Amino acid sequence: MSTLQKEYNKKFATDFDAFVLMYQRISEYTKDKELIHLALNGICDSYKTNHKMMLNFNQYDRDIHRHMFKCMLQKGAILQYFKSILRPFLGYMGLLLFPKITIKLSNK
Protein backbone atom coordinates (compact mmCIF):
# COMPACT_ATOMS: atom_id res chain seq x y z
CA MET A 1 0.00 0.00 0.00
CA SER A 2 2.88 2.37 0.59
CA THR A 3 3.83 2.19 -3.08
CA LEU A 4 0.46 3.69 -4.00
CA GLN A 5 1.61 6.99 -2.52
CA LYS A 6 5.11 6.98 -4.04
CA GLU A 7 4.98 5.89 -7.66
CA TYR A 8 2.97 4.18 -10.38
CA ASN A 9 3.81 0.51 -10.63
CA LYS A 10 3.20 -1.14 -14.01
CA LYS A 11 1.68 -4.10 -12.20
CA PHE A 12 -1.35 -1.92 -11.43
CA ALA A 13 -2.44 -2.51 -15.03
CA THR A 14 -3.23 -6.11 -14.09
CA ASP A 15 -6.17 -4.71 -12.12
CA PHE A 16 -7.57 -3.45 -15.42
CA ASP A 17 -6.94 -6.81 -17.09
CA ALA A 18 -8.79 -8.55 -14.25
CA PHE A 19 -11.86 -6.38 -14.88
CA VAL A 20 -11.68 -7.17 -18.60
CA LEU A 21 -11.50 -10.88 -17.82
CA MET A 22 -14.48 -10.60 -15.44
CA TYR A 23 -16.47 -8.85 -18.17
CA GLN A 24 -15.64 -11.61 -20.65
CA ARG A 25 -16.74 -14.35 -18.27
CA ILE A 26 -19.91 -12.53 -17.26
CA SER A 27 -20.92 -11.87 -20.86
CA GLU A 28 -20.27 -15.54 -21.75
CA TYR A 29 -22.47 -16.97 -19.01
CA THR A 30 -25.30 -14.49 -18.64
CA LYS A 31 -27.35 -11.98 -20.60
CA ASP A 32 -28.29 -9.94 -17.52
CA LYS A 33 -27.87 -6.35 -18.67
CA GLU A 34 -27.37 -4.97 -15.17
CA LEU A 35 -24.53 -7.36 -14.47
CA ILE A 36 -22.86 -6.63 -17.80
CA HIS A 37 -23.30 -2.90 -17.18
CA LEU A 38 -21.66 -3.30 -13.78
CA ALA A 39 -18.70 -5.12 -15.36
CA LEU A 40 -18.30 -2.34 -17.93
CA ASN A 41 -18.34 0.22 -15.11
CA GLY A 42 -15.55 -1.73 -13.42
CA ILE A 43 -13.45 -1.54 -16.59
CA CYS A 44 -14.05 2.21 -16.87
CA ASP A 45 -13.25 2.90 -13.22
CA SER A 46 -10.06 0.85 -13.40
CA TYR A 47 -9.01 2.71 -16.55
CA LYS A 48 -9.63 6.08 -14.91
CA THR A 49 -7.72 5.09 -11.78
CA ASN A 50 -4.72 3.78 -13.71
CA HIS A 51 -4.64 6.81 -15.98
CA LYS A 52 -4.84 9.26 -13.06
CA MET A 53 -2.06 7.46 -11.22
CA MET A 54 0.16 7.55 -14.31
CA LEU A 55 -0.38 11.27 -14.66
CA ASN A 56 -0.09 12.09 -10.94
CA PHE A 57 3.27 10.36 -10.58
CA ASN A 58 4.61 11.57 -13.97
CA GLN A 59 5.12 7.98 -15.10
CA TYR A 60 2.96 7.86 -18.19
CA ASP A 61 3.47 4.61 -20.09
CA ARG A 62 2.22 4.79 -23.66
CA ASP A 63 2.14 1.03 -24.16
CA ILE A 64 0.01 0.37 -21.08
CA HIS A 65 -2.32 3.24 -21.92
CA ARG A 66 -2.67 2.04 -25.51
CA HIS A 67 -3.43 -1.49 -24.30
CA MET A 68 -6.10 -0.27 -21.88
CA PHE A 69 -7.71 2.02 -24.44
CA LYS A 70 -7.71 -0.74 -27.07
CA CYS A 71 -9.42 -3.13 -24.64
CA MET A 72 -12.03 -0.49 -23.84
CA LEU A 73 -12.77 -0.08 -27.54
CA GLN A 74 -12.99 -3.83 -28.13
CA LYS A 75 -15.30 -4.51 -25.19
CA GLY A 76 -17.58 -1.53 -25.78
CA ALA A 77 -16.62 0.08 -22.50
CA ILE A 78 -15.65 3.30 -24.28
CA LEU A 79 -19.33 4.25 -24.56
CA GLN A 80 -19.74 3.72 -20.83
CA TYR A 81 -16.64 5.85 -20.26
CA PHE A 82 -18.00 8.73 -22.33
CA LYS A 83 -21.34 8.52 -20.54
CA SER A 84 -19.59 8.77 -17.18
CA ILE A 85 -17.70 11.84 -18.37
CA LEU A 86 -20.60 13.58 -20.10
CA ARG A 87 -23.29 12.97 -17.47
CA PRO A 88 -21.89 15.45 -14.88
CA PHE A 89 -21.06 17.97 -17.61
CA LEU A 90 -24.57 17.85 -19.07
CA GLY A 91 -26.03 18.07 -15.57
CA TYR A 92 -24.15 21.30 -14.90
CA MET A 93 -25.12 22.70 -18.29
CA GLY A 94 -28.76 21.84 -17.61
CA LEU A 95 -28.53 23.53 -14.23
CA LEU A 96 -27.14 26.68 -15.85
CA LEU A 97 -29.60 26.80 -18.73
CA PHE A 98 -32.77 25.36 -17.19
CA PRO A 99 -32.46 25.51 -13.39
CA LYS A 100 -36.14 24.93 -12.51
CA ILE A 101 -36.55 21.91 -14.80
CA THR A 102 -33.25 20.38 -13.70
CA ILE A 103 -34.15 20.69 -10.01
CA LYS A 104 -37.58 19.11 -10.62
CA LEU A 105 -35.97 16.19 -12.48
CA SER A 106 -33.32 15.65 -9.83
CA ASN A 107 -35.94 15.54 -7.04
CA LYS A 108 -37.87 12.69 -8.70
CA–CA dist 50, 63 (Å, integer): 13
Task: Tell me the pLDDT tens digit for each residue of 44-102.
Answer: 999 999 989 998 888 888 999 999 999 999 988 888 888 888 888 877 787 778 777 76
User: To 5 degrees, how large is the angle CA 96–CA 98–CA 101?
Assistant: 130
Instruction: For residue 100, give its domain range.
Output: 2-107
Cβ atoms of residues 8 and 54 within 8 Å: yes
Q: Which amino acid is at 30?
A: T
Q: Is the pLDDT of residue 19 over 90?
A: yes
At residue 107, the pLDDT reads 72
Count up the domains in the chain and report the number.
Answer: 1
At residue 108, the pLDDT reads 63
- Nearest CA-CA partner of 9 in 54, 43, 52, 45: 54
Task: Tell me the pLDDT tens digit for each residue of 1-18.
Answer: 455 567 787 888 899 999
CA–CA dist 62, 47 (Å, integer): 13
